[in-house]
Amino acid sequence: MDRPRRPVIPVRPVAGRPPAEALARIDWRWHWATLGWAPHRLGFFLALVVLGAASLWWAGVQAAPLAPWLVPPAALPPAVAHAAVMVFGFMPLFFAGFGFTALPKWLEVQPWPVRVLCAPLVLQALGWLAWLGGAMAAPALAWTGLGAAWLGLGGTGALLAWLVWCSPLADRLHARLIVAAWGLGWLCLAALGLAAWRGDFAQAQALARAGLWGFVLVVFAAALHRMIPFFTSSAMPGIAARRPFWVLALMVGAAWGEAGAVLAGAWWPLSAPVLLLRGVLELAVGAVLLWLAGVWWRVLGLKNRLLAMLHAGFVWLGLAWVLGGAAHAWHGWQGAAVWPLAMLHALALGCMGALMLAMVSRVSCGHGGRPLVADGPLWSLFWLLQGAVLLRLAAALWPAWGAALLPWAALLWAVAVLAWGLRMGRWYGRPRADGRPG
């Protein structure tokens, strides 16, 4: 009788570029254990799992009127489940993969071993999968999953905060902003769970939007302000690295102001003058950001595709504020609400979708021993994602078309992120392409 084979555990490569004979001996197959070689491997992989599950589930929800058998009757309002997982589900896992890779270098501290990160990251991923499953059929499972995700989010934030606390450097601004935003997101998720438990689903959705502005966007702003000069100088050595702090102050201040306005509007109806003032301020912020995007385009030319993807996210950010400003100014002036979801989806899908695709791909290439370029498949997926964003915005701007456009927008988004996730996921379970550690 044959003895059972023991599972093959891949051997971690040694430092330095291995010689050709060593490369020939590397096991290039995909292994679960390889996810534990670096923080970005584990964080990004779990984020892709949650992103894929959430996108497939939402595409099924949107297609349910055409094929009711695709999604069983909902135990929780699908819009609430969707808002929670899109804001607090996969994005914090992407942030964790990036943060535990970059922050130790920014702060000059010893990084956490990946085994320490496993519990809070896996808890978040399993929690959000349970939330989606429970939202369809079993409320108890959904609440258990949400509680697990909340605990994992808090544990991850505590580990990030410890890195900042241990740093000997005086300049910890970007890391402190990330930790502060993380704390705000943790509180918003707790309040969202309580609101949904009480059945106040409108308030739960408002808390999700506040988390999108005050947590997710602020983390993106801090990371981009710190990393874009590095990305630009590495891709285009002739360009001087610049980091104007007034841009960071504008984005963070406007994002936290928007989060406050969302929460205020959920508890107290905003008067017409307040809505008009909010709209004017949003239009001003959007105009400044679009002007900055134009300056960036004139300086860089955007011949590098990865930088062009980052630039597209920045353009969508400016457009989101312009759309929101126009909608709120019109509401304050005429007393009629228009385009209630246009600003939200220009930010969540247009801006953050492009930034997610660009930054995760760039970090994965850099730490995977691959060229720092957006190749043909990635470039095609980026444009497919832009098509999904345009369809979703068309549905928001022309509600009469919504029923026809929303299923196609959800389907395009799901196809794009699943294809991208399958491609990236294959990388994280294999050694680096150049055979080096990491």
Q: Is the dihedral of CA 416, 420, 423, 428 positive or negative?
A: negative
**pTM across the whole model:** 0.90
Longest dimension (CA), the chain: 83
C-alpha to C-alpha distance for 37 and 21, rounded to whole angstroms: 22
Question: Where do the H-state alpha helices sit in 171-244?
Answer: 173-198, 201-211, 218-235
Residue 215 has what DSSP assignment?
Answer: I
Domain count, the chain: 1
The answer to whether position 319 is within a domain reads no
Q: Is residue 117 part of a domain?
A: yes
Tokens (6 digits) for 49: 């799992």
Domain membership flag for residue 421: no
Q: Is residue 17 part of a domain?
A: no
The residues, ordered by sequence, that sit 6+ positions from 165 with a Cβ below 8 Å of its Cβ are none
Predicted confidence pLDDT, tens digits, the chain (438 residues): 444 444 444 555 555 556 556 555 676 787 888 899 999 999 999 999 999 999 999 998 888 766 665 555 567 889 999 999 999 999 999 999 999 999 999 999 999 999 999 999 999 999 999 999 998 888 899 999 999 999 999 999 999 999 999 999 988 999 999 999 999 999 999 999 999 999 999 999 999 999 999 999 999 999 988 877 655 545 444 444 556 788 899 999 999 999 999 998 888 888 888 889 999 999 999 999 999 888 877 766 667 888 889 889 989 999 999 999 999 898 888 877 788 899 999 999 999 999 999 999 999 888 887 888 888 899 999 999 999 999 999 999 998 888 889 999 999 999 999 999 999 999 998 888 776 776
145 located within any domain? yes
Instruction: Enter the tokens of residue 192.
Output: 């969202």
Structural domain includes residue 285:
no
Q: Say how far residue 229 (Cα) sits from the centre of its chain.
A: 20
CA 68, 55, 79, 154 dihedral sign is: positive
Range of the domain at 207: 74-264
Task: Please give the structure tokens belonging to residue 307.
Answer: 């930088």
- Does 160 fall in a domain? yes
In a domain, 278, yes or no: no
d(CA 81, CA 340): 19
